[in-house]
Amino acid sequence: MATATITSKGQVTIPVQVRTSLGLNVGDRIEFVDQGDGKFLIMPATHSVKELKGMIRKPVNPVSIDDMNAAIAASGAAAR
């Protein structure tokens, strides 16, 4: 398991094996995703949108644009 130490400025050097595994290079950005229970996921934030394809499941029951517009209109009318 790779470990790191937090400096007095809150900075951390990411261990080389982690950087290599994530494909990180100098200047790359990372994201910290809260997984709950005090756990975070570290993800590279520099990859293209095309690489994100397939990360999100398709909805079980797809909704048409017309259905979305009708729901928005109904919600707006109810708010008045």
Query: What's the Cα-to-Cα distance from 17 to each of 24, 51, 61, 80, rounded to whole Å?
Result: 10, 22, 41, 57
What does the alpha-carbon distance between residue 38 and residue 4 come to, in Å, rounded to a whole number? 17
Across 6-10, average pLDDT: 95
pLDDT tens by residue, 21-58: 988 989 888 999 999 999 999 888 876 677 777 777 77
Pairing of strands 30-36, 39-44: antiparallel
Report residue 59's pLDDT band, with 50, 70 and 90 as the boundaries.
Answer: low
> What pLDDT score was predicted for residue 35?
92
Query: What's the Cα-to-Cα distance from 6 to each of 2, 37, 69, rounded to whole Å?
Result: 14, 21, 49
pTM, full prediction? 0.50
Residues in CB range of 35: below 8 A, 6 or more apart? 41
What residue type is 53 in one-letter code?
K
